Structure 1
Amino acid sequence: MADPPRRPLIGLTTYGERARYLVWDHQAALLPRSYVDVVTASGGAPVLLPPVLAAAEAVAALDALILTGGPDIGPGHYGAAPHPEAFTPRPERDATELVILHRALDRGIPVLGVCRGAQLLNVGLGGTLSQHLPEVLGHERHNPAPGVFGPTAVRLTAGSRTAELLGERALVHCHHHQAIDRLGRGLVATGRAEDGTIEAVELAGHRFVVGVQWHPEQDVTDIRLVSALVRAAELAAGRHEEVDR
């Protein structure tokens, strides 16, 4: 009997946080299970990448990368002073994910940035962030309460990859108080909320490099974005195998 086709290896960056579970209370590398479930449902094999620089070595084996959500990126990475409302950054995670991102871009593998991941994609390409949206917009609908996702209507640019996947209008799950300000090199805004906040970006000239300010993993019945990433990974892996032969 022939072996089943190999699932593409999809790297998922993880949090480095103090966590309590069972009888333990200590530092942990962790990730919400929904990310793992949506990658698996999309046909990928999830590979968790802890927030340590050694994890960047794993990028050489990956077929695609998801930069996951999480705490605010240290503003020093984009030349800004900390805002009073900004959360405490995680320097080790920031440094690790920036290296992981650039290795993935150098290899040309597909990349999907989710919330913080979209912001990290922008910062990694020289862009900046708005550090506290309520101060700019006058409302908190993008981040209604701790642990609560706000429904956000997004208009997507016709002809963009995100619009091809989701249509030109989408209702998405948001939980963020920061957002992209000045776009990084090569990034194009392909989705905005009704208040003008950038909610989706794509990197010109790359097969699949997409950042979304919302959390697609929160709806496991709608796996279109992650499935598209996995399909792009399968195509990229096929090309790599042909080159190797």
Structure 2
Amino acid sequence: MLPDGNRQSNIERFSGYEDTYDRYRPSAPQEVVNILTGYLQQKPGLVLDIGCGTGLSTFIWGNHAHSIVGVEPNDDMRGKAEAKLNSLHLQETDGSIRFMSGYSNQLKFPDGAADLITCSQSFHWMEPVSTLAEVARVLRPGGVFAAYDCDWPPTASWQSEKAYVELLSNADKLLQERQAQQDQALKRNKESHLANILHSGAFRYAREIVFHNRELCDGERYFGLALSQGGIQTVLKLGLPDLDEEIHRFKELVKEHFQDRSLEVLFSYRMRIGIK
């Protein structure tokens, strides 16, 4: 049974494109580990990564925590994470990483069990009041909560970036007009994350941290990043042709900029933390 505060439409938004998501989205950068371990001032015992998707923000903790659990309610996304964990390359984790089905406001862990709880690209899909109350319950005193996101799009030509932003915006508008209301996902404002943490009253200190990560990217990946966005994927799953020409134009702009080259792009991150 779906716990109060959760929306089935938010969970189902991520069904059916786990391979695309995992192939093109960035893994959480090492700076996440550096920042959060620095605030904790020790190697964490238990890290919970809630709304972990395909594990792109979970596996980074493999050598930096004693136990890591990715919590993800979407079966397709969690299945991809588990398949990666079971691959030969990741057998070195020695059981320190595992994944489980669950919800942000109904975590199957005792009070004070976790040192760190993270939400990477996911907190805006969660009901914040009940989620933060549950986070506060499961965190130990002095534990750290972090909700972090990267800005879309990463750097490229201004023409490619402009087309990327417009494509995502037009996908969202199209879904508002053409998708049944009960099937529409509810995306909350990321700019409210810090205020929600402060207003919860559960944390003795809270702040926002901005940092950047540089990665190599070719045209295929940059185009794939746009296609990995849930709004565009939903339009495609619904079989709506309205964005076909715009997607093609965006692809051509990306191709013109990258010209079969791998170029350095900048992902900008915003992390909101709370210290219990």
- Structure with the higher fraction of residues in helix conformation: 2
- Structure with the higher fraction of residues in strand conformation: 1
Larger Rg: 2
Asked which structure has the greater RCO (Cα within 8 Å, sep 6+), the reply is 2
TM-score normalised over the length of structure 2: 0.22
TM-score normalised over the length of structure 1: 0.24
